[in-house]
Amino acid sequence: MRTALTASLTVILMGACGAADRQPKQSAIPGEAALLAATCTGCHLSGAKSTAIPALSDRSADDLRDALLAYQQDGETVMHRLMPGYTAAQIDALSAYFAQETPDDE
């Protein structure tokens, strides 16, 4: 859960009837990290068990940052083609964002 998610918002969420299964991934006003992370969720299913595309929600920010930075080196995978398009600051923001996300139980 994002630290920016305030207690008052949490109360609203918990009280909401029929709210989405997944925990909200951003504070009330989505910022840079939420916008960047939107791309990732097209492939990386929150809470995914063992698939060819791993979940991002169960790793530390340091782990994620190391992995994403490594994809900026030469390689054959999709991720090796994507990550050179991102700055170190963007990778930091993404790593922190997913490290704070509550994994799904879906």
Partner 1 sequence: MSKVFSTNRRAVITGLTATAALSLPALPLPALAKAAPKIVIIGGGFGGASAAMTLRRALPRAAVTLIEPNPTYHACPFSNLVISGERTLDQQAFTYDGLARAGVQMVYTKAQDIDASARLVTVSGGGTIAYDRLIVAPGIDLRYDSVAGYDAAAAQIMPHGWKAGAQTQLLADRLAAMEDGGTVVMSVPRPPYRCPPGPYERASLVAHYLKTRKPKSKLILLDAQDRFSKQPLFEQAWAELYPSLIERIPGAESGRVIRVDATAGTVHTDFDSVKADLANIIPEQQAGEIAQRGGLTDATGWCPIDPVTFASTQAEDIYVIGDATIAAPMPKSAFSAHLQGEICALQILRSLPGEAPLSTTLSNTCYSYIEPDQAVSVSGVYRPDGPRFAPIAGAGGTSPLKADIGLRQSEANQARAWFHAITTDVFG
Residues that bind partner 1 (CB under 8 A): 12-13, 16-22, 24-26, 28-32, 34-36, 38-39, 41-45, 48, 51-53, 76, 78, 81-86, 90, 106
**97 touches 36 (CB < 8 A):** yes
State the nearest-atom distance from the C-beta of 67 to partner 1, in Å: 16
Residue whose CB is less far from partner 1, 28 or 70 = 28
The Cα 32–Cα 16 span in angstroms is: 26
Q: Say how many CA atoms lie within 13 Å of 24 toward its Cβ.
A: 18
For the CB of residue 104, give the shortest distance to partner 1 in the complex, in Å: 9
Q: Any residues with CB less than 8 A from the CB of 88 and at least 6 apart, and which?
A: 69
54 vs 61, which CB is nearer to partner 1? 54
